[in-house]
Amino acid sequence: MVGLNRRSALGLALAAGLAFCSLAQAQEFPSQTITLVVPFAAGGSTDLVARVIAEKMSGELGQNVIVENVGGAGGNLGADRVARAEPDGYTILMGTVATHALNPLILKTKPYDPVTDFTPVSLLVLVPNVLAVNPQLPVNTVQELIDLLKSKPGEYSYASSGNGTPLHLSGELFKSMTGVDMQHVPYKGSGPALTDVLANQVPIIFDNLPSSSGHMKSGTLKALGVTTVERAASFPDVPTIAETVPGYETYSWNALFAPKDTPPDVVAKLNAAANKALTDETVKARMKDFSATIVGSTPEELGAHVKAELAKWEPIVKAANVSLD
């Protein structure tokens, strides 16, 4: 009996110690460098947002937040890495509409579940897309483009950064909501797509606003409309597509995610640091230059956002008959 009591006491002590260590770990977070995985190559819009936010989060958390680019498979490689990481808050993801809405709907083989394999942290920013045309195309408004496309169905094409991308599906949503008929020409990125549109090889493009902005300012590309509900602050004279096509809305977005089962206290600290970073005047200025709209959110709001995006894009993906291995 004495031995049993002693073993019971030791067991209770051990359990108490483990519980204390777990609590202490959460309270001490972070005690080492945090890796923010960007699931795309350096230099793109997601990478830029990540580096601006990471710098300010480092100051808030008292530990370095370093950006690691893990590109490939349309963002799936980086997202999958974070989904499989230890749920301790030290490996987090800069997720996008591609990683958490489009890829899960398009891919035949799904490496992760965007809802159950991640813990939402915070929605950060929305980035507008833009409908633009080569200046030689005889249209100046969204309505004039619709009229032209309806008068000559199937004769015109639009470029995007690739099959299954938000820009491709922005074009497909435009087609379905306006009843126009135009062919999709996919490219391996916005760069080569823009090259052909500027050369008038393809007259129309759906692109991220930041990558087209320089050509819009120089006049080598004519912007007809941005894809967000509100006009972009950096181009206030460019109307929204929704002003002509009510209800039309697409955009890219960036948000922070941690692996599933990340402790709530850790998520709360990451969320607080991210949202505080978004209030920094330098960050505000950088995001404005980048045409990004600062949002910020609770983890619960981000979780609801992901589910809403999946519901929104599913019928569009099916209508476009987009499916990738």
Q: What is the pLDDT of residues 286-310, one digit of tens each?
A: 888 778 889 999 999 999 999 999 9
Long-range Cβ contact pairs of 309-314 (< 8 A, separation 24 or more) = 309/97, 309/100, 309/101, 310/100, 310/101, 310/104, 310/105, 310/114, 310/115, 312/101, 313/97, 313/101, 313/102, 313/105, 313/169, 314/105
pLDDT value at residue 14: 53
Q: What is the pLDDT of residues 105-161, one digit of tens each?
A: 998 888 999 999 999 999 999 889 999 999 999 999 999 999 999 999 999 999 988
The distance of Cα 53 from the centroid of its chain, to the nearest Å, equals 14
Q: What is the pLDDT of residues 10-56, one digit of tens each?
A: 555 555 454 444 444 445 999 999 999 998 877 777 888 899 999 99
Set out the domains of the chain in order of their start, with CATH numbers.
Answer: 31-126+252-320 (3.40.190.150), 128-243 (3.40.190.10)
Radius of gyration of the chain (CA): 23
| Cβ count near 222 (within 10 Å) | 17
pLDDT value at residue 119: 98
Name the one residue in this structure whose structure tokens are 């580096």. 51
Q: Which stretch of 72-76, 91-95, 132-136, 183-187 has the lowest confidence by average pLDDT?
A: 72-76
SS3 category, 65: strand
Residue ranges of the alpha helices (H) in the chain?
2-28, 45-61, 76-83, 97, 103-106, 142-151, 166-178, 190-198, 209-218, 264-278, 281-289, 299-320
Read off the DSSP letter of residue 107: B
pTM of the complete model? 0.77
* Beta bridge partner(s), residue 254: 96, 125
Q: How far apart are CA 46 and CA 317, in angstroms?
A: 22
Cis, peptide link before residue 30, omega less than 30° from 0? yes
Contact 145, 223 (CB under 8 A): no
Cα three-residue angle 39-270-31, rounded to 5 degrees: 100
Q: Tell whether the model's pLDDT for residue 191 goes beyond 90.
A: no
SS3 category, 139: coil
| Cβ count near 285 (within 10 Å) | 11
Name the one residue in this structure whose structure tokens are 């990478």. 47
